[in-house]
A = this chain, B = another copy of it.
Amino acid sequence: MRQRAAVDVAELVERARQSDPRAVARLITLVENDSPRLREVAERLLPYTGHAQVVGLTGSPGVGKSTSTAVLVTALRASDKRVGVLAVDPSSPFSGGALLGDRIRMQEHATDPGVFIRSMATRGHLGGLSAAAPQALRVLDAVGCDVILIETVGVGQSEVEIVQQADTTIVLLAPGMGDGIQAAKAGILEIADVFVINKADRDGADQVARDLRYMQSLGGAHSEPGAWRAPIVKTVASRAEGISDVVAAIERHRDWMDRTGQLQHRREQRAIAEIEAIAVEKVRRRIGEIHGIAGIAELAQQVVAAKLDPYAAADELLASITD
């Protein structure tokens, strides 16, 4: 392995910009693995970023996120958009495409040169999704994707984190999911830019739509003129029905964000979170370097033994790096 030539990041970026899928994959692997070249990758990609609209898809297991993602890709390709897909599995330690390989609908896109598909595991990643995703998104942005779809896979949907990464957030619902809306009520209104009621051929779809509209009418916050009110779109993703309406809603939301400065605002918020996450991660590493695993473990043992409170332990940890 040592014989392997050092990565030429400049060349890799050049090839990725010319849509070489292996170069794209290689770049994402570099940023995912937090390679020593990460920083150089970030610098070289920077000039090409800022174009893509990042669209997050979230919703309970079983609402049809994967199918919806796959047919959305088809619809976006039909209007000649370049599309990136980042499938995030917060619970899996595996990365690099294993999960997506199982998904037949997504395989249709696997050989399309205008589609870049990537799965990403965040378990065990220090800082989780918020640390791992921005760089992968930046790669997909820099290679010319017009739209990047982020989808969560499996249990433990970190929808809040997804929202933090997205320009536009789609919340998927489906009728007959038990306490669907009820369970989701608390946070759902605020995070959705577009509601999609999938499996709309089933009984209860109209009721879900009515419930959503009622919730929106209670919301109030979105009632001032010029505010964005999340549209409610019905789909049957398995038959690709209603998908063009979803694409239209995504485009309208992009236009609205452009017009109102929301796009700039959201991206600044995202950059703030990213910068802070990187800074905090650096501090964490510095703590690790100075104290080592053993030093922190010793403090932890004193906390468990009720000899030291955790705030005093944190002070001891920090004293050495900030003095």
Q: Chain B: which residue is nearest A59 at the CB level?
A: B155
Q: Is A77 an interface residue (CB 8 A)?
A: no
Within 8 A of B (CB), among A42-65: 42-43, 46-47, 49-50, 60-62
Looking at A9-17, A105-113, A283-291, the stretch in contact with chain B turns out to be A283-291
Q: Is A278 an interface residue (CB 8 A)?
A: yes
Q: Is A279 an interface residue (CB 8 A)?
A: yes
Q: How far is the CA of A253 from the CA of B299 in the complex (A)?
A: 26
Q: Chain B: which residue is nearest A269 at the CB level?
A: B300
Within 8 A of B (CB), among A264-313: 264, 267-269, 271-272, 274-276, 278-280, 282-284, 286-287, 296-297, 299-301, 303-306, 308-313
Report if A155-B184 is in contact (Cβ < 8 Å); known contacts: A309-B42, A314-B279. Answer: yes
Chain B residue contacts of A264, Cβ below 8 A: 304
Report if A306-B185 is in contact (Cβ < 8 Å); known contacts: A42-B311, A279-B318, A318-B282. Answer: no
Q: How far is the CA of A153 from the CA of B187 in the complex (A)?
A: 11
Chain B residue contacts of A61, Cβ below 8 A: 60, 177-180, 183-184
Within 8 A of B (CB), among A181-196: 183-188, 191
CB-CB nearest 10 A-B residue pairs: A91-B187, A271-B300, A278-B314, A62-B178, A92-B186, A271-B303, A279-B314, A42-B309, A61-B183, A272-B300
